[in-house]
Chain A
Amino acid sequence: GENVEQHPSTLSVQEGDSAVIKCTYSDSASNYFPWYKQELGKRPQLIIDIRSNVGEKKDQRIAVTLNKTAKHFSLHITETQPEDSAVYFCAASSDRGSTLGRLYFGRGTQLTVWP
């Protein structure tokens, strides 16, 4: 099956700085990569996703990049704010084969933004 590695496990930044979280995946069949933000005691919420036919996607302060050759994808948050503090999970999925219907998560990154 798929194996998703996520780094770093914790990340502390000053308000206004940028934050970058990186993930690698093992299955070349994976073609969908969502990012979820989970605040303490809340549900995981999708913040951005990218499909394998796209190299980069932006939504305001958030961007995701995908390198299919190297099998890695990254989340970039610019101008961080205290409300960005949460656990961020990357994930990988495929629309074919034995991984169909499964979302493989990374271990998560605890992001803390200091005012």
Chain B
Amino acid sequence: DTEVTQTPKHLVMGMTNKKSLKCEQHMGHRAMYWYKQKAKKPPELMFVYSYEKLSINESVPSRFSPECPNSSLLNLHLHALQPEDSALYLCASSQSAGSIHTIYFGEGSWLTVV
């Protein structure tokens, strides 16, 4: 089973709202990722968690706050977003971030900021 599950699939939020995106995997993977993808562009790395610790933050604005409660779950907390933050947010996982392993993507959460 190579399934990474994301909820919600669609989210519309105002610029003053607080919301969260959730991601879950049960493959025993120890690395989890958040990517942002705009239309017709490749995914852009935002955060990497390795063994539940934040190992990479690609200079993402603080209005995006990641959280890894345990090895199977990854959240992305959203607060005071801007319309330009509207995008597809992809969660991904791999066996580990310490060596080369296939990265599996979830279906993504489509975020619209109004």
Contact surface of A with B, Cβ cutoff 8 Å:
31-32, 34, 36, 42-46, 49, 51, 87, 89, 93-95, 100-103, 105-108, 110
Which A residues touch B48, using CB under 8 A?
A: 101-102
Please, how many angstroms separate the alpha-carbon atoms of A78 and B45 in the complex? 31
Interface size class of B (residues with CB under 8 A): 20 to 34
**Min CB gap B94→A, angstroms:** 9
Query: When the two chains form their complex, are residues A105 and B100 in contact, meaning their CB atoms are under 8 A apart?
Result: no
A43 to B43 Cα, complex, angstroms = 10
C-alpha spacing A43/B102, complex, angstroms? 15
Closest to A102 in B: B45
Which residues of chain B come closer than 8 Å to A101, judged between CB atoms?
A: 31, 48, 50, 55-56, 97-98
Given A43-B108, A44-B43, A108-B42, A103-B103 contact (CB < 8 Å): yes
- In the assembled complex, which residues on chain B have CB atoms less than 8 Å from the CB atom of A51? 100
Q: Does B106 contact A (CB under 8 A)?
A: yes
Judge if B59 is at the interface, Cβ distance under 8 Å: no
| Closest partner residue, chain B, to A91 (CB atom) | B42
